[in-house]
Structure 1
Amino acid sequence: MQPPQLTLKAGTSWAATYERCVQSAPEAFGPDYVRNRWADAWQHDGRAAPALSPVDGTPIPGPPLLSGAEAAEAVRAAHQLHQQWRRTPLRERQARVSAALDSLEAHRDLLARLLVWEIGKPWKQACADVDRCVDGVRWYVAESERQLAGRAPLDGPVSNIASWNYPMSVLMHAMLIQTLAGNAVIAKVPTDGGLSCLTLAAALAVREGLPVSLISGRGSALSPALVRSPEIGCVAFVGGRAAGARVAAGLAGLDRRHFLEQEGLNSWGVWEYSDWTLLSEQIRRSFDYAKQRCTAYPRFVVQRSLLDRFLAAYLPAVRDVRFGHPLAVELPDDPYPELDFGPLINDAKAKELADLTDGAVAGGGLPLYRGSMADGLFLPGQQTSAYLPPAAILSPPNSSPLFHAEPFGPVDTIVVVDTEAELLSAMNVSNGSLVASVSCDDETTALRIGAEVRSFKLGVNKPRSRGDREEYFGGQGNSWRGAFVGGDLLMRAVTRGPAGERLPGNYPDCTLLPG
């Protein structure tokens, strides 16, 4: 029986989506270009970089790239905004941030559809990204009077550099909280995606009087200004270790607030365990957004005597993973498709991971599972170069990057061990991670093992997430530098407290909180 031919969901084309942006915020969007926001104005400047949607190769407006000199001018202008905003009473800041959240909520579906087209998120996950931003910041508004008692804004604006995968629930969320704390903010648009979504969100915030600057450019050009400019009060970074190391090097010698969230190979250990039904469900959910997130679990470390039962739980779960075009439906008015993931961020990333998988197998790794593009949901004749089916490699060779680094895609590695010492060695191979989990029937044993894992958060028989609100967040080893954040600590990281205060964090001369 032939599968049904799919079509694009009605009203969701890129042309229709972008036209709504132009109608909603004409000050920020031109017919085929997007403006930067700095010096308290929308600027039609920069050199537009070409861009394609990872969904199907549709041309979309690319970021208007600024030079380093222009970025330095934008930082100086943000500092002037900061001097005005820092004197704004908290009640007014609360009201303006709340009004911005109301506007984001009113534009939620448009923001989510931009996330689908720009970074390939399936609909449900795109909506969740917007909702987490709005709901999370509302919690801070409600708690801000308590959190900010006895504290003051920084001396300069907060500079934000973040990866493309969570434009709303990570980057916009942080920017709104930073303004709530009394700081102006300047953010670099991620070069790989999220331009229109972030620009629309920024436009809605600016309309409510929030001091938001948003600029585009290559990291090599903009980082010196966004990291080392004397006007900057704090640097907030979320991204990979290579880029994070460059930011950390730029901060060297500066007495400047910073928090640098970097990747790590998050591992899931399986030791003396028997609830395979639960683990199978957790494995399926682990493929959310193609594991393109900092708390994904691409490494499973399994006790040898349990390998057969682990595989009996793992393989059906990975075979059930659904991927494809996030807007492909049988009939135009059908609901959005239920997918675990869509494309990767671009075709270069898909090819990189495919080549790494092939290289790991050629080097001696065993291909436990390789999905087929025929299993994906695609439109007739659509471009699919940014898509990658899930894959799993048993015992990847030590020489492969898949052995020691986060793939940031739907490729799992499975390592078999015989002793607890081997388990810990395999789970700690990347010298620090953000999260880890141990599946073990005895919780005492799981906690004892977990105490030796170099991860900031530990899940026992469950995954861990980045968390926020009451739960703070950080990292160990090479996965984090600077102050810890989340909940009250996030407000403390972007404000000044009593003289001599030591911020909790992962850097010299700090108070290190337990994970």
Structure 2
Amino acid sequence: MPTRSEAIAQYPEIGQLIGGQFEVGNGRSEADVLDPTTGEALGQYPIATEEDISRSLKAAEEGFHIWRKTSAFERAKVLRKVADTMRVRKEDLARLVVLELGKPWKEALAEVEQAAGMWEWAAEEGRRAYGRIIPSREQDGRQLVLREPIGPIAAFGSWNAPLITPSRKMAGAMGAGCSIIMKASEEVPNCALAIGKIAYECGLPEGVLSILVGDAVMISERLLDSPITQGVTFTGSTRVGKLLSERAVRQMKRPIMELGGHAPVLVFDDVDVEATAKAAATAKFRNSGQVCISPTRFFVQRGVYEDFTQALAEAADRLVLGCGFEDATTMGPLIDSRRVNAISELVEDARERGLRIPAGGKAAQREGYFYEPTVIADATTDAKVSNIEPFGPIAVTSPFDSYEDAIILANRLPVALASYVHSENVHTVNRAIDDIQAGNVICNAWRVSLPETPFGGHKDSGFASEGGIEGLQAFQNVKYAYMR
């Protein structure tokens, strides 16, 4: 693991990756990339211009014609090589994650492996984009179902998974045979750019991938309004996702949306309370709680409610805040001061309502954007934190009495991304899988997304899936052909 000063000295220059050509500066306006650990500037990124976007669109159009005619076998070679190269350079990539996002080193290394796995999966699954033959009504007829790439894709990623989110979108689209223009998050631009550079080093044809950094509104409007793009994939807030979806559908472009959540956790009274609470704290405070699938609303059966809440608070108190390049650190900073303010507002509302705060409850007194891991107990349904996704280090506990009460609480909000159930009773678990309204129901475990599994939400948490065979199909059209 490098020291922070060593990592900063190796921080790369930021630019625009347009069809395979990396360009820096050249008179473009610039803005700072901040280190969330200190609040100081890591570097500056050049803001993409109208001309940059036009050139990216032209490159994507030309790159698509090349890439779609490249065999799935040859495409897989490139994508698999990307995965292998990411693993070879895992420490270089992890260093960027810690610098730009603040993740602890071990979490950053785990993100590299998860991201590499997505390229590996897309490489293999892209070779298996099977169609089918439907028996014909005529003896000499053939009815074929074919899968084809939909075309150039506009992609927008969030900052909280700076390798995973770009990899999921790039690998999925390219595995299906599409070209893609990725708008990198301005908070963590070098993470996405590093993957893009690796892709071209591994033999990706020019034009298949561009990565732009800059004004999200301007870039999204230009990309979605262009007749070249045929689909849009977005990870982020429900509000922005709805705006992008409306703009895309108005022009009959396919939207693939992974939007916000506020994950419920049902804890029944037959669990090992200490073990469940300890594992819950690890899952909740991973990436400082800045995860759309983060377990947040803990509904605990009344018989074990107090014991669970106390154990969760004690586990939160044991976490060590600090720089991701320090061995002792188990939780890093929030991404910026706005997140600190948003968390502070939710906690203050809880205090004003007289809710208990057995752990945390205030910003850490140190440089950077740190907030203590916080547990809010006895939360009522009218508290802000019960209705607004904190996207930060807050766990909320409330008791329930019956299974029916727990399901009502779990399904109360219009978001439906991830949910969790903990019970030793297989009948309870099976009922909950059927009754919980969410794109992901995880039982007696905490991991939601893997390269080989579909990931997506229901209701206000989006539609369509990325990952798994479903993620590949999201970037494909179905064509029926008849022959005789």
- How far apart are the structure 2 equivalents of 1:217 and 1:396? 39
Aligned residue in 2 for 1:489: 470
Aligned residue in 1 for 2:267: 270
Return the offset for 1:296: 0.8
Task: Tell whether the 8 Å contact from 1:162 to 1:238 is kept in structure 2 after alignment.
Answer: yes
| Pair 1:457–1:464, CA change in 2 (3 A) | farther
- How far apart are the structure 2 equivalents of 1:453 and 1:353? 27
- How far apart are the structure 2 equivalents of 1:251 and 1:113? 36
Match of 2:117 among 135, 138, 153: 135
SS of aligned partner of 1:61: strand
Match of 1:235 among 217, 232, 244: 232
Return the offset for 1:207: 2.5
Q: Does 1:188 align with 2:183?
A: yes
State the Cα deviation string for residues 397-430 of structure 1 (Å, max 9, x = none): 5444311121111111112233434322322232
Aligned residue in 2 for 1:175: 170
Aligned residue in 2 for 1:369: 359
Return the offset for 1:396: 3.5
Task: Tell whether the 8 Å contact from 2:256 to 2:465 is kept in structure 1 after alignment.
Answer: yes
- How far apart are the structure 2 equivalents of 1:106 and 1:461? 33
SS of aligned partner of 2:156: strand
State the Cα deviation string for residues 269-328 of structure 1 (Å, max 9, x = none): 123334213312322312211121122101101223332222243222222222211123
- How far apart are the structure 2 equivalents of 1:98 and 1:484? 22
- How far apart are the structure 2 equivalents of 1:266 and 1:218? 30
Count of residue pairs brought into register by the alignment: 462
Aligned residue in 2 for 1:97: 79
Aligned residue in 1 for 2:160: 165
Match of 2:211 among 211, 214, 225: 214
Match of 2:29 among 47, 64, 70: 47
| Pair 1:272–1:102, CA change in 2 (3 A) | closer
- How far apart are the structure 2 equivalents of 1:162 and 1:485? 13
State the Cα deviation string for residues 29-80 of structure 1 (Å, max 9, x = none): 3xxxx21012542233542112220011231223322245643442233112
Match of 1:146 among 128, 131, 136: 128
Task: State which drifts further: 420-429 or 157-166.
Answer: 420-429
| Pair 1:72–1:309, CA change in 2 (3 A) | same
Q: Does 1:345 align with 2:335?
A: yes
| Pair 1:41–1:340, CA change in 2 (3 A) | same
Match of 1:123 among 78, 94, 105: 105
Return the offset for 1:91: 2.7
Aligned residue in 1 for 2:193: 199
Return the offset for 1:179: 1.9
For residues 29-40 of structure 1, the aligned pairs below 5 Å read 29=13, 34-40=14-20
| Pair 1:85–1:395, CA change in 2 (3 A) | same
Aligned residue in 2 for 1:60: 42
Q: Does 1:358 align with 2:348?
A: yes
TM-score normalised by L of structure 2: 0.88
Task: Tell whether the 8 Å contact from 1:51 to 1:59 is kept in structure 2 after alignment.
Answer: yes
Q: Does 1:259 align with 2:253?
A: no
SS of aligned partner of 1:298: strand
- How far apart are the structure 1 equivalents of 2:346 and 2:448? 27
State the Cα deviation string for residues 451-477 of structure 1 (Å, max 9, x = none): 2222122223322412331x2222221
Task: Tell whether the 8 Å contact from 2:48 to 2:213 is kept in structure 1 after alignment.
Answer: yes
- How far apart are the structure 2 equivalents of 1:197 and 1:360? 36
| Pair 1:97–1:463, CA change in 2 (3 A) | closer
Gaps of 5+ in 2: 133-145
SS of aligned partner of 2:331: coil
Task: Tell whether the 8 Å contact from 2:262 to 2:293 is kept in structure 1 after alignment.
Answer: no
- How far apart are the structure 2 equivalents of 1:173 and 1:432? 22
Query: Over aligned residue pairs, what C-alpha RMSD do you find?
Result: 2.5
Return the offset for 1:137: 1.9
Q: Does 1:13 align with 2:42?
A: no
SS of aligned partner of 1:345: coil
- How far apart are the structure 2 equivalents of 1:456 and 1:204? 32
Aligned residue in 2 for 1:5: none
Task: Tell whether the 8 Å contact from 2:153 to 2:178 is kept in structure 1 after alignment.
Answer: yes
- How far apart are the structure 1 equivalents of 2:103 and 2:22? 28
- How far apart are the structure 2 equivalents of 1:252 and 1:142? 31
SS of aligned partner of 1:386: coil
- How far apart are the structure 2 equivalents of 1:466 and 1:101? 18
Return the offset for 1:99: 2.9
SS of aligned partner of 1:302: strand
- How far apart are the structure 1 equivalents of 2:423 and 2:446? 13
| Pair 1:154–1:461, CA change in 2 (3 A) | closer
Of all paired residues, the percent bearing the same amino acid is 23
| Pair 1:308–1:473, CA change in 2 (3 A) | same
Aligned residue in 1 for 2:298: 300
